[in-house]
């Protein structure tokens, strides 16, 4: 078996703030051999710091957080949350969309809630989302148009207020936020979450957004912990949403 070449450039090895490995070289070409070598270095670094880490992990997982995020490679949930493997259960798709007909997402949600007993369901969008930007326009992208139709439906529900935003980038940011809100409400309305609340299980659904340019997460004010919270959020109309967004932007300028 080939031994690790510690003299090689460590910059090629992926760095995780959790494992304290070396930083990646973004421009470095990663072939299969390089990826496997990176994995060996990563495993070795963890075992040196915590010899029983993998043995403990092999016995099961007990995450408290279920993360529904975008497939974008720039939004690595474990990294930005500073959580180790086993601490966050994850489902990702283009533009963090949750719809009631997506059996894949709902199956993962049910496992997270009913089996893993997570306490927090985080739906996280991110600024600069390509899926959301595509949904703002009228260009056809082929098969993905079927998926983008879910975001376009949200866009049309808030079209009057979105069109009041002249800056295209800010308009896209607004759609990122309300698309995330829509997914939060879809999760909270699901029979899975409703049943959990009815049996007294403590679980909250939270909407967050990640700013890629700053590396920061922010809550969006979409926080649902019970049926009463859900009812209040469902009563909020588009005008109220955008007025609250405008007030928040003004406060941030102070």
Q: Give the active site residues.
A: 70, 72, 74, 126, 129
Question: Looking at the structure, do residues 133 and 233 belong to the same domain, yes or no?
Answer: yes
Assign 130 a pLDDT band (cuts: 50, 70, 90).
very high
Q: Was 129 annotated as part of a binding site?
A: yes
Q: Was 13 annotated as part of a binding site?
A: no
Question: Looking at the structure, do residues 82 and 196 belong to the same domain, yes or no?
Answer: yes
Question: Looking at the structure, do residues 42 and 89 belong to the same domain, yes or no?
Answer: no
Last residue of a domain, one of 13, 30, 60: 60
Domain holding 114, by residue range, is: 61-253
Q: Was 105 annotated as part of a binding site?
A: no
Last residue of a domain, one of 37, 60, 83: 60
pLDDT, tens digit, 9 for 90 and up, residues 205-244: 999 999 999 999 999 999 999 999 999 999 999 999 999 9
Tell me the whole-structure pTM to 2 decimals.
0.83
Q: How far is CA 142 from CA 96, 146, 147, 149, in A?
A: 19, 8, 10, 12
Question: Looking at the structure, do residues 16 and 101 belong to the same domain, yes or no?
Answer: no
Question: Looking at the structure, do residues 3 and 54 belong to the same domain, yes or no?
Answer: yes
Question: Looking at the structure, do residues 51 and 78 belong to the same domain, yes or no?
Answer: no
pLDDT at 24 over 60: no
pLDDT, tens digit, 9 for 90 and up, residues 47-68: 888 888 787 777 778 899 999 9
Q: Which helix (H) or strand (E) holds 124?
A: strand 120-126
Question: Looking at the structure, do residues 28 and 126 belong to the same domain, yes or no?
Answer: no
Question: Looking at the structure, do residues 94 and 153 belong to the same domain, yes or no?
Answer: yes
Q: What percent of the chain has pLDDT over 70?
A: 87
pLDDT at residue 6, as a whole number = 47
Pairing relation of β-strands 88-93 and 120-126?
unpaired
Number of domains in the chain: 2
Question: Looking at the structure, do residues 70 and 55 belong to the same domain, yes or no?
Answer: no
Question: Looking at the structure, do residues 172 and 224 belong to the same domain, yes or no?
Answer: yes
Last residue of a domain, one of 42, 60, 78: 60
Q: What angle, rounded to 10 degrees, do the helices at 168-189 and 191-198 form?
A: 50
Question: Residue 15: exposed, middle, or buried by beta-carbon count in 10 A (0-12, 13-18, 19+)?
Answer: middle
Question: Looking at the structure, do residues 90 and 205 belong to the same domain, yes or no?
Answer: yes
Which CATH number goes with the domain that contains 155? Answer: 3.40.1050.10
Question: Looking at the structure, do residues 191 and 175 belong to the same domain, yes or no?
Answer: yes
């Amino acid at each position: 078996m080939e031994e690790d070449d510690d003299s090689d450039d460590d910059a090629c090895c992926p760095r995780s703030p959790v494992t304290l490995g070396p930083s990646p070289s973004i421009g470095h070409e990663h072939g299969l051999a390089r990826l496997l070598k990176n994995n060996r270095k990563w495993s070795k670094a963890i075992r040196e710091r915590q010899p029983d880490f993998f043995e403990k992990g092999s016995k099961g997982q007990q995450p408290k957080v279920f993360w529904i995020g975008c497939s974008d490679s720039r939004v690595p949930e474990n990294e930005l949350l500073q959580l180790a493997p086993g601490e966050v259960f994850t489902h990702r798709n283009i533009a963090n969309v949750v719809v009631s007909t997506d059996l894949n997402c709902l199956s993962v949600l049910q496992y997270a809630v009913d089996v893993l007993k997570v306490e927090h369901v985080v739906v996280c969008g991110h600024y600069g989302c390509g899926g959301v930007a595509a949904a703002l326009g009228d260009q056809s992208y082929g098969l993905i148009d079927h998926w983008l139709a879910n975001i376009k439906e949200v866009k049309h529900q808030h079209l009057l207020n979105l069109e009041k935003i002249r800056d295209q980038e800010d308009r896209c940011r607004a759609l990122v936020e309300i698309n995330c809100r829509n997914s939060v409400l879809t999760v909270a309305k699901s029979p899975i979450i409703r049943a959990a609340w009815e049996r007294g299980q403590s679980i909250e659904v939270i909407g967050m957004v990640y700013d890629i340019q700053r590396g920061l997460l922010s809550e969006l004010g979409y926080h649902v912990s019970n049926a009463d919270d859900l009812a209040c959020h469902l009563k909020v109309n588009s005008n109220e949403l955008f007025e609250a967004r405008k007030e928040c932007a003004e406060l941030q300028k102070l």
